[in-house]
């Protein structure tokens, strides 16, 4: 099934069920008003939502209305946890190679992960407001999952059973703030502003055969200022699958329902596939030409992130944002 959260003036919005083709929607308030409620009581509430989803897809839902992505908040507007991995090691290798750094062996056996802010997410079509372009504004196109409860010590294969929903993420980065933060030895903080998520979160069965071994075997498209810059394959080169990422978190703690786990920037060794963040494009330029030529984002720039299924239809809806200065709001 496909779920979204509509803006209603509150912090957590209103849960809606969305049709498979993303054309219509129906409020779920007869079942649950918020997505977190469903995640907390998944076994009882999700079958009821599935029934509504089936009715909606058959065109028989009495109070259906046209689905409008611009009315959406993030599917889970605030979460108990947002943990983002760096599961595509090609991305890490490129960025490190550009600055002359080797890849430590530990990177290949243990996922890199940071804990981001989860109290405030951006909706898929919300403007991305940044006070200072000198901070180096960059998009990051990613895949993410929302979990149910996963107990401490769970194995990677068992952790996959904890995946409830899948969605897309734009994990905004402020590249020029990162070096000084990492130099302190304590990780990202100010360099990672609010993340945006796709309009719709979907159950893994909606992916069909494209959901294999904890990986989404589909193409992630990134379109910057109307130009398609990334056609990256999300499946084959994901070094650590989502079960491994979730198990990494669960090594020393319980993972609770409503945790969002990100893949990190989707990246391919074949540079003709393009890029899912500007930092990677700049790294390639450094390697090839000795200097980075592509500038980071400017006010008025747009970024669109989307995945289409084998039938050509948008699977999650599109993240479609504009970079703005504070005075414009």
| Mean pLDDT of each 10-residue bin along the chain, 329 residues long | 98 98 97 98 98 98 97 98 94 79 81 94 98 98 98 98 98 94 89 97 97 97 98 96 98 98 96 95 91 97 96 96 87
**3 state DSSP class of 90:** helix
User: What residues form DSSP beta bridges with 6?
Assistant: 14, 72
Q: Provide the pLDDT for residue 329.
A: 56
Q: How many CB atoms lie within 10 A of CB 31?
A: 18
Residues 6+ apart with CB under 8 A from 307: 143, 168, 216, 218, 219, 220, 221, 234, 314, 315, 316
Strands (DSSP E) found in the chain: 2-6, 14-18, 24-27, 65-66, 81-85, 113-116, 128-129, 137-138, 141-147, 163-170, 173-174, 196-197, 201-202, 211-212, 215-216, 219-224, 227-233, 259-262, 302-307, 319-324
Distance CA(42)–CA(273), nearest Å, equals: 38
Greatest distance between any 2 Cα atoms in the chain: 61
User: Buried b / exposed e across 37-70, counting CB within 10 Å, b at 16+?
Assistant: bbbbebeebbeebeebbebbbeeebeebeebebe
Distance CA(121)–CA(135), nearest Å, equals: 20
Task: Write out the two tokens for 201.
Answer: 């979160």
Distance CA(238)–CA(10), nearest Å, equals: 37
Q: Provide the pLDDT for residue 328.
A: 62
Strand order in the sheet with 319-324: 128-129, 319-324, 302-307, 219-224, 227-233
Task: Write out the two tokens for 267.
Answer: 């990246």
Q: Provide the pLDDT for residue 231.
A: 98
**3 state DSSP class of 189:** coil
Residue 22 near residue 200 (C-beta atoms within 8 A): yes
């Amino acid at each position: 099934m496909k779920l979204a959260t509509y803006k209603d003036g509150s912090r957590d919005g209103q849960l809606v069920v969305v049709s498979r083709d993303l054309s219509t929607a129906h409020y779920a308030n007869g079942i649950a008003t918020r997505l977190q409620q469903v995640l907390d009581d998944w076994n009882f509430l999700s079958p009821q939502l599935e029934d509504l989803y089936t009715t909606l897809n058959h065109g028989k839902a009495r109070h259906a209305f046209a689905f409008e992505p611009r009315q959406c908040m993030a599917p889970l507007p605030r979460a108990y946890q947002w943990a983002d991995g760096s599961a595509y090691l090609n991305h890490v290798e490129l960025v490190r190679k550009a600055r002359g750094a080797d890849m430590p062996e530990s990177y290949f056996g243990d996922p890199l992960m940071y804990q981001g802010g989860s109290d405030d997410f951006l909706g898929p079509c919300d403007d991305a407001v940044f006070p200072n372009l000198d901070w180096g504004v960059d998009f990051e196109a990613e895949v993410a999952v929302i979990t149910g409860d996963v107990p401490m010590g769970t194995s990677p294969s068992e952790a996959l059973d904890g995946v409830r929903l899948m969605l897309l993420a734009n994990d905004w980065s402020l590249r020029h703030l990162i070096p000084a933060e990492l130099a302190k030895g304590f990780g990202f903080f100010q360099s990672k502003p609010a993340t945006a998520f796709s309009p719709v979160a979907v159950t893994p069965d909606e992916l069909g055969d494209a959901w294999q071994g904890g990986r989404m075997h589909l193409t992630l498209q990134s379109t910057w200022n109307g130009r398609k810059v990334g056609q990256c394959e999300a499946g084959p080169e994901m070094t650590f699958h989502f079960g491994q990422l979730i198990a990494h978190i669960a090594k020393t703690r319980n993972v609770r329902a409503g945790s969002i786990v990100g893949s990190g920037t989707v990246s391919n060794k074949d540079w003709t596939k393009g890029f899912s963040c500007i930092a990677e494009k700049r790294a390639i330029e450094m390697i090839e030409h000795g200097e980075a030529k592509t500038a980071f984002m400017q006010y008025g720039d747009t970024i669109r992130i989307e995945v289409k299924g084998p039938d050509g239809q948008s699977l999650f809806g599109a993240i479609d944002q504009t970079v703005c200065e504070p005075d414009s709001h």
